[in-house]
Chain A
Amino acid sequence: MDGTDMRAEELPKWFPYSIYIAAYHIDSEKELESQSIVEKLYHRYGGVYSKDLNSLDFTSGSFLSYVKGLSEGDFRVFLIAAGSAEADKESFNSISSHEKYDELVEGLRGVLPKELDSTYILRVAYTTDGEEAEALLQRYVKNARGQLRSAGLIRNCVLATLKGSSTLMPSRELMVLPYGDWETAKEGIWALCFEVCSLALYNGEMSRLYSERKLMFDLMEASESSTQLRINEILAEMRRPVDEIQPGDLEDILKEITIQFSRLSTLASSMRRDHVKARGLLRGLRNLLKSWNERPITESLTNTSVETEDFENLMAPFGDFIERTEALMAQLNTVLDSVRTYLGIQQQKASIVEQTSSKEQLVRLVNLQEILHKLEILIVAVYLTEMARIVFETLLQESANLLTTAFIPLSLLISILISRILHKTR
């Protein structure tokens, strides 16, 4: 994230009591850049403005204020802090001690866009030791009639999250109670501020990704049901006897499956793309929270576990959507296999019919050949008899007819013999 490198920047020397952090997406063509927001505040309040660092440190009445814009791709994180140079003696027993700072921050928030993707409100109080910090936290929660959602110890600082209204956009109210050395506490609180900025960015990006896909998640059930219904109809159609299913019907089914399959495949891969993006954000969030090395206090859950769980809950529908579309694709594959099997059976049937018909043709051909063969023998025999008759008529005129008749069986035998010899040589 640009601008988070604290070494490059001279951070305020005063102590922030009220901090507001917001992350939002910008349409680079339309939205106001955070640079111009800081500049706008500079023109209104004056102070020390750094264009390069996109920050402004200024005084408003008796309070000190600091605003800073950070950017990461199409996302902007805006930090607004109000505080004083001295330790505020008033304790958390009196919430009014923060109201004055809150009011200033509230006024500055007006410059931000209306559509935010995540917000963090931090109220800070300095304490001398950890025990006092915990006691202050309990008193504040009791007085504010709030409920503690999570709490933990991060370096020398008690960090607690209050239960808020559950909305789609992550909106957190944090209590930050640094203790120990005053100067170290001041430095520590600013470091934590920038870490919460990163947290706001991860949650903001995830929240936006989720809200953009929420309609798809909501409609998954109905779309899945109607697709399932159609798959069942197709399978019922496929259960009809093979002879009743025409090739045209199979072609229509194939076309329909191809359309459904390509859409499901597009949806699954698009959702996978988002899921991968969400996993990347989760890795960043985990690394950040790991660096906190948060230790539990009281019986509450730690901020680390709650933040991770919330994030994973937003991520879960992405995985579910992919699984459900893939399950439908697997079913469509089964239908496709059935169509293929049907086509195979029909092809096989056609081939059997073809084979039977060619066999019959062959039998007819063989029969014809046999007839021709017999005819051939007869023709040869006739020729032989005729030649013998000519010979008999020449040599023995009187008994020529008798001899010719007697020669007929012989001519047939000779003809068969010749035919066999010829066929053998062939």
Chain B
Amino acid sequence: MSLIIPGDWFVNPKVLGEFYRKYKDYPIEEIRKVSFEQGLAFGRSVKAQLGINGDDPEAIAAVLKAVLRDEPTAKVMSVEKGRVLLRNSGFCPLMTACLSMNLPWTWLCSSLGWPFFHGLASAVNPKVNLTMTKRREKGDPYCDHIFEIGEGKLIIP
């Protein structure tokens, strides 16, 4: 079974429900890989469209800001000391999908959400690490995504 992630999963709870039912028993690493690739392709196209050059945190922040322009719950909070802090608060699309479709929040974020963001930033610099320092799916008041140049890993403490 080849894995296909719908292109509008981050705005359409219905496709998330179908996706979960179809792939809930699929190896999570495989799903993460495909979601990462999707983010990477999206990030590259945004980078080319907006003419974003460079591979520094400022360029990563520019790509994230462009992608999340219409997302009221996600905001680039700071770009300093070589790292970008992206914060997600309020009622995000995955939170809404989890409640309305009765889906497992942790599964959705770890298999789709975080790898996708990691892919977006990796379009700017393949060595970027994404560390999830705060996660709402485990009870934190918001999700903090820290992007910094490292070994190109997704770190979920």
CB within 8 Å of B: which residues of A?
212-213, 215-216, 218-219, 221-223, 226-227, 230, 255-256, 259-260, 263-264, 266-267, 269-271
Contacts and interface: CB of A to CB of B under 8 A. Distances in A.
Contacts of A264: 91
Interface string B135-151: 01101011000000000
**Most chain A CB atoms below 10 A, which of B89, B93, B136:** B89
Interface of A is mostly: helix
Given A222-B141, A223-B91, A226-B90, A263 B96 contact: yes
Contacts of B91: 223, 227, 260, 263-264, 267
Contacts of B99: 213, 216, 266-267, 270-271
A213 B98 CA distance: 10
B20 to A, nearest CB: 13
A212 B72 CA distance: 26
A216 B137 CA distance: 9
Interface residues of B, number: 21
Contacts of A269: 100
Given A222-B89, A223-B90, A226-B142, A270 B72 contact: no
B105 interface: yes
B102 interface: yes
| Top 3 A-B residue pairs of the complex, sorted by shortest distance between their CB atoms | A222-B141, A226-B89, A270-B100
Contacts of A221: 141
A267 B137 CA distance: 16
Given A219-B136, A219-B139, A267-B100, A259 B70 contact: yes
B57 to A, nearest CB: 24
A219 B72 CA distance: 17
B72 A230 contact: yes
A187 B95 CA distance: 50
Contacts of A222: 89, 136, 141-142
Contacts of A267: 91, 95-96, 99-100
Nearest to A214: B139
A266 B89 contact: no
A264 B102 CA distance: 16
9 contacts: A212-B102, A215-B136, A218-B139, A219-B95, A226-B73, A226-B89, A260-B72, A260-B90, A263-B96
Nearest to B141: A222
Contacts of A266: 13, 96, 99-100
A215 B136 CA distance: 8
Contact of A230 (B90, B95, B100, B137): B90
A395 B70 CA distance: 93
